Chain A
Amino acid sequence: DAGVIQSPRHEVTEMGQEVTLRCKPISGHNSLFWYRQTMMRGLELLIYFNNNVPIDDSGMPEDRFSAKMPNASFSTLKIQPSEPRDSAVYFCASSPLRGTYEQYFGPGTRLTVT
């Protein structure tokens, strides 16, 4: 049974470029989460969706960040324009029916903005 799939695993880009991170949740899971992990701030929730609808985007740092979930099996996190301070590991996680609250994480995307 495939887990959460994220691509790319590593991304190196120059400041000012657009970056798109992709996530495929576990089939049948209803909720999808985007996290950012840095040494300074630890693990932070950026945004999460339930049944493809954004529920809480209070963690999105600024307008340069946007996330979409066009269907139950795909989500994107876009940064435009990217800045060096966006360098981090970005995780996607998914969770089955509301009430279990168990989140299963993907392998993460390590983003480096130079």
Chain B
Amino acid sequence: AQTVTQSQPEMSVQEAETVTLSCTYDTSENNYYLFWYKQPPSRQMILVIRQEAYKQQNATENRFSVNFQKAAKSFSLKISDSQLGDTAMYFCAFLWPQGGSEKLVFGKGTKLTVNP
């Protein structure tokens, strides 16, 4: 079974600085998808970024980018120019579309606090 590990339960960063959240996963498969979701105090789960494993280019979405290392099974999220609104739980998730499956497996999350 696939597993997702987020080794940093909590992190903090100063406003305007850059922070990187770590995620590793365990799979023997070759084609899969990886995601980062954000859950602010409002508890709404928001999709931040998606990466297809067959793509070598790292995904970016404005201030959010990933460092996808397939061989190392690592998928870190970099947040540049951190803003107070980035304070949230961040969840890494894995999806292996075997037979059309859409089952997401989530990590335990990292609580990020952006300090003014």
Question: Number of A-B pairs whose CB atoms are under 8 Å?
Answer: 48
Q: List the one stretch of A11-19, A20-28, A64-72, A101-109 in contact with chain B.
A: A101-109
Residues in A neighbouring B45, C-beta threshold 8 A? 91, 93, 105, 108
Main secondary structure of the interface of A (DSSP, over half): strand
Asked if A56 and B101 sit within 8 Å, CB to CB, the answer is: yes
Q: How far is the CA of A56 from the CA of B44 in the complex (A)?
A: 24
Is A42 located at the chain interface by the 8 A CB criterion? yes
Count of A residues near B, CB < 8 Å?
22
**With A and B bound together, what is the CA distance between A13 and B103 in angstroms?**
30
Asked if B108 is at the interface (CB within 8 A of a chain A CB), the reply is: yes
A82 within 8 A of B: no
Instruction: Tell me if A98 counts as interface (CB < 8 A to partner B).
Output: yes
Within the assembled complex, what's the spacing in Å between the Cα atoms of A50 and B97? 14
A31 interface hit (Cβ, 8 Å): yes
> Given A42-B108, A101-B50, do A31 and B43 touch, yes or no (CB 8 Å)?
no
Are B44's CB and A105's CB within 8 A? yes
CB contact under 8 A between A48 and B43, given known A42-B108, A101-B33, A102-B50: no
Residues of the B chain whose Cβ atoms lie less than 8 Å from the Cβ of A110: 43
Shortest distance in angstroms between B94's beta carbon and chain A's nearest beta carbon?
11
What total of chain B residues lie within 8 Å of the partner, measured CB to CB?
22
Do B43 and A102 touch across chains, with their CB atoms under 8 A apart? no
| Chain B nearest CB, measured from A5 CB (Å) | 12
Q: In chain B, residues 71-116, which have Cβ atoms closer than 8 Å to a Cβ of chain A?
A: 91, 95, 97, 100-104, 106-109
When distances are taken between beta carbons in the complex, the residues of chain B under 8 Å from A107 are: 42-44
Residue in B42, B47, B107 whose beta carbon sits within 8 Å of that of A103 in the complex: B47
Question: 5 A-B pairs, CB-CB below 8 angstroms?
Answer: A31-B102, A48-B103, A55-B102, A101-B97, A105-B44
Q: Known contacts A31-B102, A42-B107; can you find 7 more A-B pairs with CB under 8 A?
A: A55-B102, A89-B43, A101-B50, A101-B102, A104-B47, A108-B43, A108-B44
